[in-house]
Chains A and B, each alone.
Chain A
């Protein structure tokens, strides 16, 4: 038990130390996933949202960061929309945008 909690602590401290890198990878992965032609699985979507919730907790992420992420997603959606119309990838980014907007609203309410 002790071993597990020790490992978790070390993982958290590792993540905290590399906060920027971790978040950058996280965001890039979302954007890359949204651009794939395969439909997103709910398992992936909710796992990512849970992970983001976890990051909010450990990184003390502010709502402004979430809204910046939304802004980025909106830019990606705009590019997608202009180039491909309401294609699968545009829809996927739109769904990510809506979900992160929801997360941001809840975050800001709590702040």
Chain B
């Protein structure tokens, strides 16, 4: 009997664990891997390459070389290298890790339940079922489709929980040491990358264990043990924690911005949370099912699990299960969010806490913790019921016990069949043409990767086809694909741009250049951002089988592989590799290519973003060694550039035009449709009203931000009606909102709370109207001093027009309102919108001349007018007056792109005025006629149009607009009368066959009325047309309209005129001749991605040194011959001396003199090709040495680093050496030393305690 019990209790769980371990080995055929996703998991495929390119340095191996957090994976990837050496196959490695997750997840849940139920007789079955529930619950099965690096938490959570539970029960400190060593091996699960799951699981688990120790088993918690363990934990994790803490508190760092900035907390955090929170269901969580997924009928069987839990409470006599339930409920609240509005509001408030935005995707992040507590609660509950059943006196007890044990196991196992078979991991990639994410990488790609790795220059790679987010799609031999971070970056070690978003400021420019066929400029920009090679994957699967994701950007890039090939051929690049007509590598000519480190031939400061890079590029055509410093970037990085002398200053005057308000009024609002959490009838609501008022009062000036915010708050009244319409009352006796406005007073706080004075349809409409009226008053007031500001009425008008549609929809869909009440409300709404429309009438400013008011430094300037921006005018009639000096067309020199006037003297830094007199603008509608859409042949220039037949009613009348330009602004104007009927006016952009509505408004008037509006054409538009249709309402709307009137609209004086927006540049040249400028020659060697050695020759004059890597203040320029005179620097030198000696013991001389040398720009720049050196005697040479040009370090060319170096910085030497280094790498060395020392110390402690 004892033997049977031993077999049952010890061997059976092990057999189950073994079976679970073996399952993943049947998922993949030899050579197959399920790589991809956000973490890519390329470390399973080639851990050695991954280790050296992606983990050892604080600079990212991808695209622009931003901060890297991959160093947290060092121990884990090192473990993978060891395992790969043993097992050789990545398939075995992946299957092994999956097996470990399944088997250890099960076994440690089993052991936890056994411990919590004190290993009593029946707890064996309960622990088995609980363990199986943990690994086979549907919600956990669902996560196998998106395996990330932190996925090891599936087994780590129960493992560490179990060990800690054992510690708290036995107080054996050696267990804590084992836990610490485990955290070191799987440090990625304890790093910033896994912060959400870490903070979701450990605080709550440790709370449980402490309460369990104090309240249940009533043992003492030994504080000195905990303190020692904490100390060792911090020590062992130092290699990533030190850097993490440093990043968190460095201003401008991505992590710092994510945690502390409003954009991080609210835009990326709270907004994301608010958008997904309504979709997370408490009922689905109670059943342990995946959220936001289609569920099958079998999912209903999981109702058994909450049933067993609740039934167990009826028989329960133990406090452990109550404690588990309590913690389970806490986690359930966090994993669900939608449990009462109060909890939802508290949850939202928590986003004010810095760092809480990591829980924006709260369900995914709390889910592992939730399933863990669910499983151990279920195991204990199962034990309680089984115990009750065992000691009950009911008939068929044995049969019932058998059923009770087998039914949940059967449900779990049947549901897990897709996982057991491996179907879950082999699912088709989202939005692909049924392409699996399991692939066997072919020799062609391996050859391509190896070729890219061997490319000599350090330059970047442009990977085509270009995806959205830096993903790369690689087709496997078996028809599956890899879709994840670029293998070229993470395995070949070449920084590459594989995604459209990675192009930062250039992300719109590049696709537009491709679309417009501006190949020369395209290649120049590639060179400017250090792209030396183009890698093209011509496999049709990687592009043509993915019609949407990850190629959703629609910016005129080639539509299929055939067009891609044609496009690449048109680039006329030198092909340096063709692998079986599948993979191609091309080289950018050296004339365009700016090496990783260079000296600028020409430097300029520009007042526009880098997205307008074409302007400086079209002015400086001789050499690509240019640096463009952007005013705004310097400001946002808090970089003063006053000490830097630029060769040129370019000022684009477009922002100072008298039409700027007109142009700006067409900007898209930053606000979406409002989301409302509180009912109008809620007690809290009056406080929300007060807060909104305070927010508006907080605006210092009435600008577009204020206007958008006011519109947003007005729109909230409509959103409230939409959401709570069924609970909103009707006054029912209001004649018009205007009349109500005279009698209704804003209630005070008490009466609003007690008598719910806001909770009426009419009041909401009135409050909406008042908000809009207040806004109109404010716009009119500002317009008294700045007449062009009045155009913002048009912005409000467009918003109101869309609101009108919303209100009609809300009323028509109000199910609880009878028809007569709907008609009553519609009448009120129509009258209200008519009143608002009357107040929004304004007179558009004249378009005859453009005036610019601007400030410039004193000096001699060139004035340039972009030829393209005035091509619609008769150029010979253009005149310019600058500060009363007249310039005619003949005063301008005519070049290909620009009209240039020399010697414009700006005498002092004062307000200057430029007046551009343009010929009369063309009416773009004058050459076309009205057409009836359906009848084709009907065309008229008549001013009176009657829509009286069924076709016209449905499709209306259209009129083409001639000479429509992309990216331009137009004023649409006409007079109309509709005789009480409603019509809709629409203006469409045409892009090929696609029509995009860019202006829509309702027309309704019994008398002649003027319509005027500004509209912006899109950047892709080919042509445009206007359309007038009968308002598409409903039967209720029809009932309101006068029945006896004809359906007729009269239109006259229709005109569409382009707003003059010429591009005018003022150019001040400080250094005239490039040939005279003697820039130094440099030779640079890449030591590793965080360190460059630089030799400078002939540095007689100040120059700008450029490093094409993402701007970061931690990049430093160090002079090895000078020491910093601080105590800290002294200690740094002492430590560096010791480190050098220690490293010197292990290291043999590895410096080679035969490294190949690449030469650019006639020998001005030389690049010595060298292999990366992570550590050697020279690693510490910069410690305590002087940083130079620290305050002349600034961002250029959109993302790169530049230093302005004057001879005095280097003691007037002309030939010298410098080191460019990323200072954060030093912290990694220090952290690694502390971690390794702590790990050795912990291991020694383990040995010591085990010997005892």
Contacts and interface: CB of A to CB of B under 8 A. Distances in A.
A105 B381 CA distance: 13
A77 B329 contact: no
A45 interface: yes
A45 to B, nearest CB: 6
Contact of B313 (A41, A67, A81, A99): A67
Contacts of B322: 105, 108-109
Nearest to B286: A94
B697 interface: no
Nearest to A93: B283
Interface string B325-343: 1100100110000111110
Interface in A57-95: 63-64, 67-68, 70-71, 74, 77-78, 80-82, 85-86, 90-91, 93-95
Name which of B306, B307, B316, B683 has the most chain A CB atoms within 10 A of its CB. B306
Interface in B240-286: 281-284, 286
B314 A101 contact: no
Nearest to B723: A39
Nearest to B306: A74
B1209 interface: no
Nearest to B291: A86
A101 B310 contact: yes
A108 to B, nearest CB: 6
B310 A81 contact: no
A95 B339 contact: yes
A109 B319 CA distance: 7
A29 to B, nearest CB: 18
Interface string A97-111: 111011011101100
B338 A105 contact: no
A94 B281 contact: yes
Counting chain B residues whose Cβ lies within 8 A of the other chain, the interface size class is: 20 to 34
Nearest to A110: B322
Contacts of B726: 38
Interface in A26-52: 38, 40-43, 45-46
A46 B341 CA distance: 11
B1063 interface: no
B682 interface: yes
Contacts of A108: 313, 316, 322
Contacts of B300: 78, 81-82
B664 interface: no
DSSP class of B's interface residues: helix, strand, loop or mixed?
Answer: helix
B282 to A, nearest CB: 4
Nearest to A65: B314
A97 B286 contact: yes
A86 B340 contact: no
A45 B344 CA distance: 14
B1215 interface: no
A42 B283 contact: no
Contacts of A45: 340
B948 interface: no
Contacts, number: 87
A86 B292 CA distance: 11
A77 B303 CA distance: 9
B310 A102 contact: no
A94 B303 CA distance: 12
A98 B314 contact: no
A106 B316 CA distance: 13
B310 A74 contact: yes
A67 B329 contact: no
A104 B316 CA distance: 12
Given A95-B282, A102-B329, A74 B307 contact: yes
B682 A67 contact: no
A53 to B, nearest CB: 16
A105 B326 contact: yes
B347 to A, nearest CB: 14
Contacts of B681: 41
Contacts of A74: 303, 306-307, 310
Interface string B659-686: 0000000000000000000010111000
A15 to B, nearest CB: 25
Contacts of B910: none
Contact of A68 (B282, B314, B339, B340): B314
Nearest to A73: B310
Contact of B727 (A38, A93, A94): A38
B611 interface: no
B313 A104 contact: yes
A80 B303 CA distance: 12
B598 to A, nearest CB: 59
Nearest to B279: A86
Given A42-B341, A74-B307, A105-B325, A91 B281 contact: yes
A86 B726 CA distance: 21
B286 A105 contact: no
Contacts of A42: 340-342
A41 B679 contact: yes
Contacts of B325: 101, 105
A44 B585 CA distance: 68
Given A86-B283, A86-B284, A70 B310 contact: yes
B311 interface: yes
Nearest to B336: A98
Contact of A101 (B295, B311, B329, B683): B329
Contacts of B295: 85
B281 A86 contact: yes
A81 B316 contact: no
A70 B314 CA distance: 11
Contacts of A105: 313, 322, 325-326, 329
A94 B283 contact: yes
Name which of A70, A74, A105 has the most chain B CB atoms within 10 A of its CB. A105
A94 B300 CA distance: 15
Given A90-B283, A105-B329, A81 B340 contact: no
- 9 interchain residue pairs of minimum CB distance: A94-B283, A94-B282, A86-B281, A67-B313, A105-B325, A90-B283, A42-B342, A42-B341, A109-B322
17 contacts: A40-B340, A41-B341, A41-B679, A41-B681, A42-B340, A64-B314, A68-B314, A77-B286, A80-B283, A86-B283, A91-B282, A98-B333, A98-B339, A99-B339, A104-B313, A105-B326, A109-B326
Given A94-B286, A105-B326, 14 more contacts: A40-B340, A42-B341, A46-B340, A91-B338, A94-B282, A97-B286, A98-B282, A98-B286, A98-B329, A98-B332, A98-B339, A105-B322, A109-B322, A109-B326
